Chains A and B, each alone.
Chain A
């Protein structure tokens, strides 16, 4: 049996190696897609990385130019925004054309209304096509606004007697102050002792209040998964996006290769070479095992060559646990070979197999995390992904390359992959044997 198996594998390997172009395509496409992902999200050749600053327009408010400059400068220095001032019509035009992600529209007479206790409505106009960037602006502004609203509510709850000037009939002085005539307010302070004392009391209360809020009596400490993973992994944790994308694409295109090799069985049946083969001293099981072994060798080779190329071209961190990488590659290849062999034997023709494996590969690729990390998916899809073999391969590669872990941490994934491989192979041989007995295999 061993000699027969060796001959079968040698024959199939030679056939596969003759199709060098097909092999090259499955090598080039993952590298190309990784390159595109890298320059899109991780910077690189163009010297830019990630989401660029959000173009934000500010308009209205009748603010003094000093305040306008300070506001724009403050927002600009945060690094999140690229701020411009414009009039309302221009702001609407920029946002509705998509030239700005959002516009912060300050109401006319903002300072006067604000300090005289009138209702103030700040508007945020969002570009309808900018879900992400306009969403960032909204999120930041809403956070700032919440803090202010709670602070004002607390002040009014503590000192309800501190009515706003409007309510106290002092709006003229405030209007005059923000109308560029501070004299009236200063005269009132000088001439009306009660008003002056109350004014100073308010200033003192305001200062005490602001100081108190600086040290909240309850703290909320936020712990982001990204931060603790980076801290846990120390220098081992990778932020190189290629480290995620190349293994993911390599596994995805390895699935296509495994499908192509399983298809050989149908091709051999249709060209009658399988029937000739079975006249020799080999069993159906040996033939299936031969196909499986060939697929395991070719798919492992594909994965390893791609990872090596990634190491050379994208500085993929493949060197930290080479033995574990080899084990994961072989286990992933074995699982893929078994799954596609079984799938191929479920259907009767090469065409039907093509259709089935295409749907299967694309769906598994999506659910198993070959296009997006599974962490991004909704819970239902995430759990669906766990039953795909490529999920375990992706996870093991991610642990080794992205997190810099070793063989011990990927052993569970390797065990899962080999379990799938053994179960799939036994199933494939069983189906093949039954079909051969029924006379449809060859």
Chain B
């Protein structure tokens, strides 16, 4: 091995990347824009908290019945949406169009004869319009259903109150104790306690994977590292076509020197990119990568190495810059999509999850998820890290084989 020659190749490559300021767009700007926008787009997956407060509109509140007033009372100062009350009535078409045009996250229609029907014991209907594709709409629905359960049960059991019949009829009650009801609804005897079995977090680091930024931050970092290094395959093709590779060979390098030079150059660029992006994500979006810096370092190094080896292989196999560009784009988009960088793998069928986790992109993002959500370290993530190492061995082995053939040819 010739360390000076390898250092020269690395230096040349770095200068080439630094000389083109447009590279900053792919290296830094776009990954951050994507992380931010996709994080916003996916929204907060947890039940509470939102960047903006959507509107929940209620029509037909004149005259408001006691039951509707009670239904809306707990929704008045809700953290997830703003309750807007309208005395006027609205048609179902109006409610649908408000929802379709995204003016509101939910619309409740209180029919004109609601109060009379309720008094007459005719079981009037409240119509709620929502969009199950929108998180904000689902939150409104959940809150409304909770309030509805309390209100509807209260209104329904009033028919069991009959002071005259109560002493004789075991199915009738002398009265309805509203204070007891409100107290028991507020403090129920049977409760559901929800716990996330992740690592313990400090109060100021409360992000979990229920926040999509914890997915979008690492995933777009990985995606753009892979894309940049795959798209850089074109540079190796150009080195061959412009005969600058032949000039390098005047220094009598071995194949190992050249492969090491190109591979390490990719590694340096990828690691710089990863350090900057993960750092920015930590500072700007307060991302927390878990308690194991060693695991974080190893997964980043392995993924960058796999990407660099893939770029080298692609550059060796491509005949023209166009081919390298095209194949780089194909793999640069397909591997992130299949590996769960665009969406969490848990939402795709089992077969696609298995395929995803067998790819380097899926393995790397799974390690990130396990570090962030579970607080895992090297020991627990070892299977995925070994997977990345296997990809590295395969891709680098193939790159060396074809590169040697290319040099000899």
CB within 8 Å of B: which residues of A?
19, 21-22, 24-25, 28-29, 32-33, 36-37, 39-41, 43, 46, 48-52, 92, 95-96, 98, 101, 114, 117-135, 138-139, 141-143, 145-154, 156-160, 200-202, 204-205, 207-209, 212-213, 215-226, 228, 351-352, 354-355, 358-359, 362-363, 366-367, 371-373, 375-382
Contacts and interface: CB of A to CB of B under 8 A. Distances in A.
B190 A219 contact: no
Nearest to A129: B373
B349 A153 contact: no
A216 B152 contact: yes
Interface centre among A117, A131, A159, A202, by most B CB within 10 Å?
A: A131
Contact of A213 (B30, B153, B208): B153
Interface stretch (B2-10, B56-64, B125-133): B125-133
B330 interface: yes
Interface residues of B, number: 116
Contacts of B46: 131, 135
Contacts, number: 344
Contacts of A123: 192-195
A28 B330 contact: yes
* Majority secondary structure, A binding face: helix
Interface stretch (B179-187, B237-245, B257-265, B388-396): B179-187
A126 B67 CA distance: 35
A419 to B, nearest CB: 21
B293 interface: no
B155 A378 contact: no
Given A92-B197, A153-B150, 10 more contacts: A19-B322, A21-B326, A43-B349, A46-B352, A129-B346, A216-B155, A375-B133, A378-B50, A378-B136, A380-B51
Nearest to A158: B173
B406 interface: no
B370 interface: yes
B223 to A, nearest CB: 12
Nearest to A142: B192
A244 to B, nearest CB: 12
A389 B323 CA distance: 30
B53 to A, nearest CB: 10
B191 A221 contact: no
Contacts of B136: 378
A220 B192 contact: no
A221 B184 contact: no
B194 A124 contact: yes
Contact of B123 (A121, A151, A217): A217
A284 B43 CA distance: 47
B23 to A, nearest CB: 9
Interface stretch (B83-91, B95-103, B295-303): B95-103
Given A216-B152, A221-B127, A32 B330 contact: yes
B375 to A, nearest CB: 9
A157 B352 contact: no
A220 B125 contact: yes
A386 to B, nearest CB: 10
B29 interface: yes
B56 to A, nearest CB: 13
A119 B195 contact: no
Contact of A149 (B177, B185, B343): B185
Nearest to A197: B170
A37 B22 contact: no
Nearest to B141: A222
A218 B156 contact: yes
From B118, B142, B153, B193, residue with most partner A Cβ within 10 Å:
B153
20 contacts: A22-B326, A40-B343, A52-B350, A117-B189, A121-B190, A121-B191, A126-B194, A128-B198, A128-B208, A129-B198, A129-B346, A131-B46, A149-B184, A150-B153, A207-B171, A217-B156, A220-B126, A220-B152, A221-B126, A379-B102
Interface string B190-213: 111111111100000000111010
B13 to A, nearest CB: 19
Contact of B54 (A119, A376, A379): A379
B154 interface: yes
Contacts of A220: 125-126, 128, 144-145, 148, 152
Contacts of A28: 326, 330
A134 B344 CA distance: 13
Contacts of B155: 216-218
